[in-house]
Amino acid sequence: MPVYQFLGGRARDSVPLAWGIYQKSPDEMAQDAAAAIAAGFHAIKLKVGRRLAEDAAAVRAVSSAVGGDVPLRLDANMAWRSVPEAASAIRALAGEAQIAWIEQPLGRANLEGMRLLRLQAGVPIMADESLQTLRDAYDVARAEAADVFNVYVCEAGGMLAAAQIFAFAGALDIPCILGSQAELGIGTAAAAHLGVALPVLPYACETFGPLRYERDIVDPGPRIERGHLFVPERAGLGVELDEETLRRWRVDE
């Protein structure tokens, strides 16, 4: 029996996906973003936190390439050191494009700063590094430090632990997405099973890890097609280890 059956059954056929763009030149980032939207991905995430002029040029180029009706997700990865610095940068970037949210603008422990940014920046704030466990979710929510949660199955402690964070956040009307640390097929399969079983999944998720690799360690692995992650229908997680690939990439100490 597929794992999603033990998580409450299927609530949707697939998990809609966003695509993440690496930091490159503005033109290269624009080309990557346009290709992703043409391939069926539903939103674009790009890293910020370089010099503001570089970030603004990248945001402007990507927005122009994908169209103003595609909100951009900006991930700062804790790059800004103070509330005034972050607020100023966020307001400037919001002037270049439609911004869905800013992900983790400040250090993971700076929940008060995140709360102040929610009031000052005019753009929704997403918690990522600040949020790994259910206890973290409670702390972030109590501090009113985020509008959106980014939940990682692996960081949370597995599918059930991640589902608990979704349930907790849902009770507080805080939307969540499933995030990715560029997992290989096993982790992505786990995210797929949880993703199709969650009662509410309001935004495209970022569980596209296997697409970052030349070759996966499972065969067959989870299917990603036209911007959707499809859950394997076989027993368990529905993936099988590729022993040949494991031998090829094994590193002996």
Closest CA to 185 of 136, 146, 236: 236
Phi, psi of 149, deg, nearest 5? -110, 140
Instruction: Give the tokens for residue 6.
Output: 């033990």
| All residues at 6 or more sequence positions from 196 whose CB lies less than 8 Å from its CB, including other chains | 4, 10, 11, 12, 13, 14, 15, 231
Look at residue 221 in the predicted model and tell me its pLDDT. 85
Look at residue 186 in the predicted model and tell me its pLDDT. 95
Number of H helices, E strands in the chain: 9, 10
pLDDT digits (tens, 9 = 90+) for 190-237: 999 999 999 999 999 999 999 998 889 998 889 999 999 999 999 999
Look at residue 91 in the predicted model and tell me its pLDDT. 97
Bond prior to 26 in cis (omega within 30° of 0): no
Look at residue 215 in the predicted model and tell me its pLDDT. 87
Class of domain 3-249: alpha beta
Look at residue 220 in the predicted model and tell me its pLDDT. 84
From the candidates 47, 73, 193, 228, give the one annotated as an active-site residue. 47
Look at residue 225 in the predicted model and tell me its pLDDT. 96
Look at residue 251 in the predicted model and tell me its pLDDT. 87
Look at residue 219 in the predicted model and tell me its pLDDT. 87
Q: Where are the domains of the chain?
A: 3-249
pLDDT digits (tens, 9 = 90+) for 55-71: 999 999 999 999 988 98
Question: What's this model's pTM, rounded to 2 decimal places?
Answer: 0.94
Look at residue 206 in the predicted model and tell me its pLDDT. 98
Residue 69 CA to residue 220 CA, distance in Å, equals 35
Tell me if 29 sits within 8 A of 58, measured CB to CB.
yes
Instruction: Give the tokens for residue 57.
Output: 């040029």
Name the amino acid, one letter, at 160: L
Is 24 considered catalytic here? no
Instruction: Give the tokens for residue 30.
Output: 């624009």
Q: Which residues of the chain have pLDDT under 70?
A: none
